[in-house]
Chains A and B, each alone.
Chain A
């Protein structure tokens, strides 16, 4: 497809389980971001990948959160031992390059921890 694709679109999981969220960026885009969005906190930066550089993990809220980007394309965000406060919409965005003005967002994964 032409846009950023995220899967699953919705995920309900039990507290304490691990979840994996997937992001397929636009082909050729070198920069990829993960954000978390909730009513109370708004949009929160989680992690940033740029080409082959070491990722900027400064926004990850705890060591239960990790992400990887394989082959400079698909990215997976993993949340271990999920907690109820992890419930949010997780958004992925890609940019052609880190200095570009336009970020292209996916539709997000709505995560509910029960």
Chain B
């Protein structure tokens, strides 16, 4: 079993839809939970991060962490074609190095 599981997609949605991207993990020691966005032919860039459990909102993006279920989510409201990218979850802390999910490819159709 991988330390972090993430559905690779692709996920295709119409413009304006609410997108839900998810990861599960096995190591309960992780404390920091990150989401990276990667556009085509670019390196991933940090989108947002959350410490421990709870929600964090940044514009149209909301990151949610449920440590009891070892489950994290990224919600995108009013999705736009410019949101089309690969989204990677990552986690770290508790004495462990950063671990990345494989990434989910998202396509938002105009």
Residues of A within 8 A of B (CB): 4, 31, 33, 35, 37, 41-45, 48, 50, 56, 91, 93, 95, 98-103, 105-108
A44 and B102 within 8 A (CB): yes
When distances are taken between beta carbons in the complex, the residues of chain A under 8 Å from B75 are none
Task: Tell me the complex Cα distance, A28–B22, Å.
Answer: 33
Residue of B with least CB distance to A95: B98
B-side binding surface: helix, strand, loop or mixed? strand
Q: Given that A35-B100, A42-B102, A43-B101 are known contacts, is A102 also in contact with B42, CB under 8 Å in the complex?
A: no
When distances are taken between beta carbons in the complex, the residues of chain B under 8 Å from A43 are 44, 88, 100-103
Residue of A with least CB distance to B43: A105
B97 and A56 within 8 A (CB): yes
Cβ of B89 to closest chain A Cβ, rounded Å: 10
Question: How many chain B residues touch A (Cβ–Cβ < 8 Å)?
Answer: 23
Task: Tell me the complex Cα distance, A91–B43, Å.
Answer: 7
A45 and B93 within 8 A (CB): no
Within 8 A of A (CB), among B74-110: 88, 90, 92-93, 97-103
Q: A42-B102, A98-B92 are in contact. List 5 more A-B contacts (CB 8 A).
A: A35-B100, A42-B8, A103-B36, A103-B46, A107-B41
Cβ of A93 to closest chain B Cβ, rounded Å: 8
Q: Given that A42-B102, A45-B99, A98-B97 are known contacts, is A105 also in contact with B8, CB under 8 Å in the complex?
A: no
Task: Tell me the complex Cα distance, A102–B88, Å.
Answer: 13
A101 and B100 within 8 A (CB): no
Q: Verify if B6 is at the interface (C-beta below 8 Å from A).
A: yes
